[in-house]
Each structure stands twice: as C-alpha cells, then as structure tokens.
Structure 1
C-alpha cells in the first residue's frame, strides 16, 4: 500500500476548534467516500499557539496510481475543492511505509510524534533515504520511549495532482519532505518527553544535512480503520 500524507493549516476565519470540528464532521465524511480508500486517519496538533500544521491527515490506497485515480474522480475533486476552500496550507507526500517496531492496537497509542525530514539542496534522494534507513532502527523507540515506530518514505518522487479541473495525473517533483519518522505513545506526557529525545536524535543523525525540518505532536483519530500492515495489529488484538 501507499499512504498520502497531507499537511494542513486552516484559513484565518476558522479557529482551531472549528477546524477540527469541521474535519471530523464535514470534510472527513466526504474523504471517507473516496474510491479505493483503504484507511483514513486524522491527527490534530496538540501544540499551543499557531503550529506550522493544525493537522496531518493520512489516507491509504493500494498504489500511487490508485490514489491519483481516486482524487481524479468526481468525489475526489469535490473533496479537494472543499479542502482547498478551508486550508491555507495543503501540502502532500506520497509515501511507502517501513515499520521499525509494531505493537498494540491503535487505541492503545493515540499520541504520535512526527519528524518531517527534507534533505539539503544538492543531495540525492536515494542517498538520503538510504542513510535514514541505516540511522533509524528500533533502538530509536528505546531512546524516545515510544511504543512503536515507522518510517514513511518518498521513494518515487511523484506528487499527487489534487486540483479540481482538467486531466489529473501524477506529477514528478519534490514533495515538502522526503521522509517522516513516526513515533507512537500511550500518553501525552510520554509523547512530549519523547519528542525532545527524538529531536536530539535527529540533530545527531543528520545535522546540517537537513534542508528542512518540522515536527508535530498529534492526537490521532480513526475515520476509516487502516488495514494491516498500515498498523501492526488489528484493533483489539494482542501484539
């Protein structure tokens, strides 16, 4: 499977509670009807003030082509029009997933830290991702106190075309980030402590080799339950 990650910042006329309520009750149900959708999670920021992203959405499809076909459908275009009307930031990443450690049901780890990594200008994507896969191991869970961890990688350099008019096909180009490091926690306090530890790991592992970095502390909510292997175990089952 392939995952579409969308970084979301609301328009100024919405408060953060209004944004979250709208995505739960209006936009979420629209996106849940996208053809070929395999799973849909909403993550809302727990940071105070104005974080770079108010939310990060994740939508799973069988392939990049299936994702693009879904967004090119009438339902997909209507969903894109609705999202664009209420978002000041709407950046996409199409990623493959690679687990570092899997454990437990989604409900047991509702808090997530996301490290968003972009290579420095002039560096090759393949080299950067290979270095990340060497540096990011299950030991990162121990350092951050995370229950489970996953890498999401832009290995193809293909962008979703989420416009509403014309012929919509995948576009070759640079996503806002090359990779995400995702860490899950059972409590918000553990996630906040783990975020600091994970940021220290990022500085040590990459330092000046990063051209762009963003991290987020999220509370995750299921809209459409992602199938395995998007999550390590089915809801309610033992690890």
Structure 2
C-alpha cells in the first residue's frame, strides 16, 4: 500500500489555526475523503514546540493510503479529485510550499492499535541521505542500527519509517529519502522524550548518515478522517 504524505502551509492571509481547521473540517470531509480510491486518510495539525522559532515550514500533514500505483493514477483522474480536492486547494493552502512524498511504510514498532477517537501525537523527522551515500546503504542503515536506537526512546508508542518509493528516483533525485514517524501519548510526552539521553543518541547517530541542511522535524496531532481501518 502507498502511504502518501502531504506537507502543506497556509495561503497568505490565513492563520495557522484557520488553515488547520479548514483542512480538517472542510477540505478533508467535503472533498478529499470522497475520492473513491483513498483507503485511509488522516490530517495532522502541527503542534508548536518551545524550541521552534520563526515561521514553520509546514503547518500540517495529510496522510493518504492507496492500494497501489494503478489506483493512485485512477484517483487523479476522478471528478472528486479534479473538480473537488484539487479545485479547493487554493482556498486554504500555499501550493508552492507543498511537499508530497509517496512512501513505502516500514513498521519498526507496532505498538497499540490506533484509536480513531484519540488524537495521538507524532514526531516527523524528514531526512535526505549524506551526499555520495548509495540509497540502498541509507535504507539499510536507517532500518537497521538506527531503528534499533529509536526503540530505546522513552515514551515511544509506535514507530514507522516511510521510505520514498523507487519511482521518485526514475529521472533524478527525490527531494527527501524518508519520513520517520514516532508516536507518543501527548505533546508533553514527546517533549520529555526529546530531552532524554536516548533521543540525544538517536540524533547523533542520524547526523552521521543524513544531510543536516535537509533535516526537518515537526510535531503534530493526528486526526483520522477515514480509518484507522481501511474502507
């Protein structure tokens, strides 16, 4: 199954809260969720952290699950997408700041079953491998020794590595190679985890095989629109 991640920011003149509310309660419900090929769909609202400074790169994340390449192509040809979701985008999103990653999800820590009635907190870590490193080597390192370090972070409930799909490298380089997703019970639990020695070790290891200038992190609360069970 394809796990698509859409990182987006508010259009000029719209506050972050207005952007998040519109995406979650209007765009997701009236437009995106009606695309028949979408199996699961979640919208994640950015949660500000004490260490954040300046304007955030993105204010939310859309998560879309599609069965395969054929259904993804079909979804882009539906009236629900063309006349609905795509046509609505300028009403709330600065489309020139949007980043879309199609990923293959690798579950490192399964954790408890997601609760659709509970807003879980998720830390996104977006990465690009070190210059000169082979993609296969990056994936092996990320899913091996690095993943093992992540499971030692206190309070971690679930851990998934979303690796950019091979098709993104067909005519060049993908903008990013992976989106690591770490779940916690609350924003406070996530902040406590970031202050731990285990998280410090995790970051130190990460910086040995990714480019620091392309490293992005964001904390968000996940809201299910369709799911967590696929329709």
TM-score normalised by the chain length of structure 1: 0.81
Query: In 1, Cα distance between the equivalents of 2:163 and 2:152?
Result: 22
In structure 2, C-alpha distance between the alignment counterparts of 1:134 and 1:119, rounded to whole Å: 15
Does the CA-based 8 Å contact 2:47-2:221 persist in structure 1? yes
2:228 pairs with 223, 226, 229, which one?
A: 226
Indicate the residue corresponding to 1:24 in structure 2.
24
- Distance apart, 1:173 and its partner CA: 4.7
Question: Does structure 1 retain, via aligned residues, the 8 Å contact 2:129–2:209?
Answer: no
Please point out which of 213, 216, 225 is paired with 1:214.
216
- Which residue among 102, 114, 123 is the counterpart of 1:106? 114
Q: How many residues align?
A: 217
Match of 2:180? 181
Comparing 76-85 and 176-185, the one that deviates more: 76-85
| Pairs within 5 Å for 1:86-165 | 86-88=92-94, 89-107=97-115, 110-158=120-168
Q: Which runs of 5+ in 1 are unaligned?
A: 160-170, 229-239
- What is the CA-CA distance between 1:109 and the residue it aligns to? 6.6
Runs of at least 4 residues of structure 1 off by over 6 A?
none
Distance 2:200 2:149 in 1: 15
For residues 142-187 of structure 1, the C-alpha deviation after alignment (integer angstroms, 9 at most, x for no partner) is 224201111111131338xxxxxxxxxxx75543321111111112
Q: Is the 8 A contact 2:124 2:182 kept in 1?
A: yes
Q: Distance in 2 between matches of 1:69 and 1:172?
A: 22
Q: C-alpha displacement at 1:209, in angstroms?
A: 3.4
How far the C-alpha of 1:121 sits from its partner, in A, is 3.5
RMSD: 2.3
Give the CA deviation at 1:50: 2.6
Residue 69, structure 1, aligned to residue 84, structure 2: no
- The structure carrying a bigger strand percent of its residues is 1
